[in-house]
Every structure is written in C-alpha cells, then in structure tokens.
Amino acid sequence: MNVGKLIERLLQLIPVLLGVSVIVFVMMLVTPGDPVEIMLGDQHVTEEQEQALRHDMGLDLPPHERFFKFLSNAMTGDFGLSYYHRQPVTEVIASRLPATIELSLAALIFALLVSIPLGVLAAVRKNSILDRISTVTSLFGVSMPGFWFGILLILFFAVNLRWLPVSGRAGFSSEVEPITHLLLIDSLLRGRVDAFWDALKHIILPAITLGLPMASILMRVTRASMLDVLNCDYITFAEAKGLRKSQILIKHALRNALIPTVTVAALQTGSLLGGNMVVETVFGWPGLGRLVVESIFVRNYPLIQAAVLFYAVTYVMLNFLADILYTVLNPKVRL
C-alpha cells in the first residue's frame, strides 16, 4: 500500500465520473417529462411566466450547452440549485446523507453478524438440517424483492404485533443535538437512552430488509470458502499439531475463509446504495435514496445528477477499500 496507488485510483475516478455524467445527462434528456410542467402542475400561468421559470432553471439552453455549463460548474464544486429546495444540491444531499449512512451501516452490520456465523456453521455441519435450512433461507433472501419483503415485515411486526414502528427514523421526542448526525450514536453520546431505543426500533425493519440480500450472498460465500479452506492441507496439519478445534476453526480456517467474504462484502456495500432507494421509500426513511426517487419523479435534474455522481464515487471507493482489505487479509498479495 502506498500513496502512489491511492493517487492512481483517484485519477481513475476522472473517466468514471465523466462517463457517468454523460450517461445520466443523456438518460434524463431522453426521459419524457418536463420539470417545468411538473412544477407548474395545474396552475394557470402565462407563456412569459413559464419562459421566465424555464430560463431561471437554465432549461432554455440547448442540451450541449447545458451539459458543458454543468461540467464547468461541477469542477468548481457547484452542482447547481435543487429546483424544489431552492438551495445548493450539495447541501440538500449532505442533509439527507447521514440517515442513509446510518441505515446502510446497520444493514451491513446485520448482514455480517448473520452471514458469517451461519456460513461457518453450515460449512462445518455440511448437509445437516441447519445447512439445508440456511441454504433455502438464503435463496429466499436474494430472490425476495425488497419492497415486498419490507411491506411484509411492516404488516407483521408493526401492524399486527405492534412491536416496532411502521416507518420513519425516530419520533419527535427523540431529537438530539447532532454530533455525528448518526442518530444511534448521537443519542448514546448525549446520554439519551430513550432516544437510542426509539432510533433502534425504527431502524430494525429497514436494516433487515436492506441487509437480507447481502446477508444471503455473504452466507453462501462464507460457506463455500469455508468448505474450501477446511479441505486444505494446512487444516489437516493444524490438526496434526494437536491444536484445539476452536483454534483450528477460527484462527486457521475462518481467517482464510474471510478473504472472499470481506471482498464481496465491500463490493456488495455499493449495491446497498441501490437497495436504499427502495427500502427508504417503503419505510419512509428520510435518506438520500428516497430523495433521489422523489427527485426522479419531479425531474429534479441537478439533484439527480449530483447524487448519481456521489454514488459513482462511493462505488469506486468501496472497490478500492475491497482491494485494501484483500491485501490486509492475504499476506501473499501486496498492492
């Protein structure tokens, strides 16, 4: 690992971001729907008023000029104003980001906590009842659409059992002075146990919905790589050394089996971003995903453009993180 490699990765970002910008711009161009019309709705306005609005939003320029204007502004960090919020899109995104990060982290933690122990157990007890059950469950996990599974969870745990709230991030009484902007952490830092419980109750269902496909994939990966590793000579040799079974499983087997799991987990974290849009919409979670979905409905071009670029950067960075983790876990590989 060295600085040169990091710089190389950052340079690789440039063509990626340029390509993403072009694709998103063209997609928005060919998608039917006019933001001005959507914004005006049924209001009766004169032709001049509409033109003024169009000019104000910069939509009266031909597409290529709009694109280059966007590019040159973006270079300076200016991604324009959100049509609806009338404030810079970067600020709007920043205000919604913590909720998304919190939900993604919760989903990631859920996925790791469930998948790794289950994957190990399924491999150690290969072909047992537990192995079969977890195989079938993980098949469900990857194939169930999030919007359906989320609604199912809401119906059961929130509507029928009334154990957990239906939607939202926290109740009004649970507001705490932000420090990290992650509600679960802030509430603890401020010593507000009640707010922490409230936030935790709110995040459970969306986190499970978002994390389940990832947990299923990681479980399969862990199981498969654990099975591979358990057949390795060094496991037999560790047994021949007379080590304890737990030591063999955790130190010798799991450590090596985790190499693919961690790599896949880092890559899959990128796909949580896509899942966020659905899950946040279903659970009324005030995060970036829902903001993007809403923005697409009203053709809020500057916001979509900036958010997609943000997703792209995140994705590339997660890839980079996967590479770093891979080298940390595998001494044979050096970046």
Binding site for another protein (CB under 8 A): 232-234, 236-245, 247, 251-252, 255-256, 329-332
Residue linked to tokens 């710089």: 7
Amino acid at 117: P
When the beta carbons of 143 and 246 are compared against another protein, the nearer one is: 246
Q: CA 333, CA 170: separation in Å to the nearest integer?
A: 44
From the CB of residue 203, how many other CB atoms can be counted at a distance below 10 Å?
26
Q: CA 316, CA 299: separation in Å to the nearest integer?
A: 26
Q: Measured from the CB of residue 129, what is the shortest distance to another protein in angstroms? A: 16
Q: Distances in Å between the alpha carbon of 53 and those of 4, 16, 47, 178?
A: 48, 33, 10, 37
Question: Which pair of structure tokens corresponds to residue 143?
Answer: 């194939």
Q: Are 50 and 36 in contact (CB under 8 A)?
A: yes
Q: CA 110, CA 16: separation in Å to the nearest integer?
A: 31
When the beta carbons of 163 and 234 are compared against another protein, the nearer one is: 234
Q: Measured from the CB of residue 134, what is the shortest distance to another protein in angstroms? A: 20
Question: Which pair of structure tokens corresponds to residue 146?
Answer: 């999030």
When the beta carbons of 82 and 225 are compared against another protein, the nearer one is: 225
Q: Are 227 and 123 in contact (CB under 8 A)?
A: yes
Q: Measured from the CB of residue 269, what is the shortest distance to another protein in angstroms? A: 23
Question: Which pair of structure tokens corresponds to residue 49?
Answer: 């008023």
Give the H or E element holding residue 315.
Answer: helix 301-329
Q: Measured from the CB of residue 202, what is the shortest distance to another protein in angstroms? A: 40
When the beta carbons of 64 and 332 are compared against another protein, the nearer one is: 332
When the beta carbons of 51 and 236 are compared against another protein, the nearer one is: 236
Q: Measured from the CB of residue 255, what is the shortest distance to another protein in angstroms? A: 5
When the beta carbons of 180 and 247 are compared against another protein, the nearer one is: 247
When the beta carbons of 204 and 232 are compared against another protein, the nearer one is: 232
Backbone angles phi, psi at 167, to 5 degrees: -160, 180
Measured CA angle at 266 (ends 268, 314), to 5 deg: 85
Q: CA 248, CA 225: separation in Å to the nearest integer?
A: 15
When the beta carbons of 232 and 321 are compared against another protein, the nearer one is: 232
The answer for residues whose C-beta is within 8 angstroms of residue 265's C-beta and 6 or more apart is: 108, 111, 112, 214, 218
Q: Measured from the CB of residue 240, what is the shortest distance to another protein in angstroms? A: 4
